Structure 1
Amino acid sequence: MMTKQSSNLADGSSSESWLDDACILDIDFFVKTLSGIKSKGVCADLIGSVITHYASKWLPEISSVDVAERSLTQLQEAPERVAVSWMKKRFFVEALIGVLPPEKTSIPCNFLLQLLRTANMFGVEAAFRSELEKRISRQLDEASLKELMIPSFNHTCGTLLDVDLVIRLVNGLMSLDREVVKSGAALVKVAKLVDSYLAEAAIDANLSLSEFVALAGALPSHARATNDGLYRAIDTYLKVHAGVSKQERKGLCRLIDSSKLTAEASLHAAQNERLPVRAVLEVLLSEQAKRSHRRHHPLESSEQAARCGLRREVMEIKKLKEEVVRLQSQCNAMQAQMERMTEKRKLGFFRWKKPAIIPTFAAGGGLSRSVEMNDNEDDKDEVDGLVGFRRQTPMHVRTRLLKPKTHHPKWRRSMS
Structure 2
Amino acid sequence: MWESESDLGRGREYGNGVLNSSKEVVKIDGFKRRDRSWYVATDVPSDLLVQVGDVNFHLHKYPLLSRSGRVNRIIYESREMEVKRVQLDDLPGGPDAFELAAKFCYGIAVDLTAANISGLRCAAEYLEMTEDLEEGNLIFKTEAFLSYVVLSSWRDSIVVLKSCEQLSPWAENLQIVRRCSESIAWKACANPRGIRWAYTGKPKKVSSPKWSETKETSPSHNQPVPPDWWFEDVSILRIDHFVRVVTAIKVKGMRFELIGAAMMQYAAKWLPGLVKEDVGEEGNNNKLKDSSWKEGGLHMIVAGIKEDMPSKEHRMIVESLISIIPPQKDCVSCSFLLRLLRMANMLKVAPALVTELEKRVGMQLEQANLGDLLIPSYKSETLYDVDLVQRLLEHFLVQEQIEPSSPSSHSLSQGSPRPNAKMRVAKLVDSYLTEVSRDRNLSLTKFQVLAEALPESARTCDDGLYRAVDSYLKAHPTLSEHERKRLCRVMDCQKLSIDACLHAAQNERLPLRVVVQVLFSEQVKISNAIANSNLKDAGESHYQPVISTRKALLEGTPQSFQEGWATAKKDINTLKFELESVKAKYRELQTEMDNLQRQFEKMSKPKQLSAWTSGWKKLSKFTKTSGVESQEIGNQEPVAAEQVRKPRRWRNSIS
TM-score by length of 2: 0.42
Is the partner of 1:195 in helix, strand or coil? helix
Cα drift, residue 3 of structure 1: 3.8
Are the equivalent residues in 1 in contact too, given 2:275–2:336 (CA < 8 A)? Answer: no
Are the equivalent residues in 2 in contact too, given 1:159–1:204 (CA < 8 A)? Answer: yes
Cα drift, residue 9 of structure 1: 2.8
Given candidates 512, 527, 532, the residue that maps to 1:292 is 527
Work out the percentage of aligned pairs sharing the same amino acid: 44
Structure-2 change in CA distance of 1:15 and 1:183 (3 Å): closer
1:275 is matched with 510
Given candidates 205, 211, 234, the residue that maps to 2:446 is 211
Ranges in structure 1 where 5+ consecutive residues have no aligned partner: 66-80, 314-416
Supply the distance in 2 between the matched residues of 1:60 and 1:36 (Cα, whole angstroms). Answer: 26
Cα displacement string for residues 371-396 of structure 1 (whole angstroms, at most 9, x for unaligned residues): xxxxxxxxxxxxxxxxxxxxxxxxxx
Cα drift, residue 236 of structure 1: 0.4
Cα drift, residue 302 of structure 1: 11
1:202 is matched with 437
Structure-2 change in CA distance of 1:295 and 1:251 (3 Å): same
Supply the distance in 2 between the matched residues of 1:304 and 1:271 (Cα, whole angstroms). Answer: 32
- 1:337-356 matched pairs, under 5 angstroms: none
Is the partner of 1:244 in helix, strand or coil? coil
Letter of the 1:161 counterpart: Y
Could you list the structure 1 runs, at least 4 aligned residues long, displaced by more than 6 angstroms after superposition: 81-84, 300-305
Supply the distance in 1 between the matched residues of 2:258 and 2:456 (Cα, whole angstroms). Answer: 39
Letter of the 1:306 counterpart: T
Supply the distance in 2 between the matched residues of 1:305 and 1:238 (Cα, whole angstroms). Answer: 38
1:7 is matched with 186
Are the equivalent residues in 1 in contact too, given 2:272–2:307 (CA < 8 A)? Answer: no
Cα drift, residue 152 of structure 1: 1.4
1:135 is matched with 360
1:29 is matched with 241
Given candidates 86, 101, 106, the residue that maps to 2:326 is 101
Letter of the 1:203 counterpart: R
1:64 is matched with 276
1:176 is matched with 399
1:386 is matched with none
Given candidates 107, 113, 117, the residue that maps to 2:342 is 117
Matched, 1:40 2:265: no
Letter of the 1:147 counterpart: D
Cα drift, residue 57 of structure 1: 1.6
Matched, 1:165 2:388: yes
Given candidates 213, 220, 240, the residue that maps to 2:475 is 240
- 1:301-380 matched pairs, under 5 angstroms: 306=567, 309=570
Choose 1 or 2 for highest CA Rg: 1
Are the equivalent residues in 2 in contact too, given 1:110–1:147 (CA < 8 A)? Answer: yes
Structure-2 change in CA distance of 1:219 and 1:177 (3 Å): closer
More helix by share: 1
Ranges in structure 2 where 5+ consecutive residues have no aligned partner: 1-156, 158-180, 193-224, 278-305, 405-416, 537-560, 575-655
Cα drift, residue 294 of structure 1: 0.5
Cα drift, residue 89 of structure 1: 0.5
Supply the distance in 2 between the matched residues of 1:100 and 1:4 (Cα, whole angstroms). Answer: 22
Cα drift, residue 138 of structure 1: 1.2
Letter of the 1:290 counterpart: K
When structure 1 is superposed on structure 2, of 210-219 and 294-303 the one drifting more is 294-303
Letter of the 2:421 counterpart: A
Structure-2 change in CA distance of 1:58 and 1:14 (3 Å): farther
Supply the distance in 2 between the matched residues of 1:256 and 1:4 (Cα, whole angstroms). Answer: 59
Cα drift, residue 62 of structure 1: 1.1
Cα drift, residue 56 of structure 1: 1.3
Cα drift, residue 267 of structure 1: 0.6
Are the equivalent residues in 1 in contact too, given 2:228–2:258 (CA < 8 A)? Answer: no
Letter of the 1:286 counterpart: S
Supply the distance in 1 between the matched residues of 2:337 and 2:440 (Cα, whole angstroms). Answer: 29
Structure-2 change in CA distance of 1:305 and 1:210 (3 Å): farther
Supply the distance in 1 between the matched residues of 2:228 and 2:269 (Cα, whole angstroms). Answer: 10
Supply the distance in 1 between the matched residues of 2:568 and 2:371 (Cα, whole angstroms). Answer: 29
Supply the distance in 2 between the matched residues of 1:202 and 1:46 (Cα, whole angstroms). Answer: 39
Letter of the 2:255 counterpart: C
Letter of the 2:394 counterpart: N
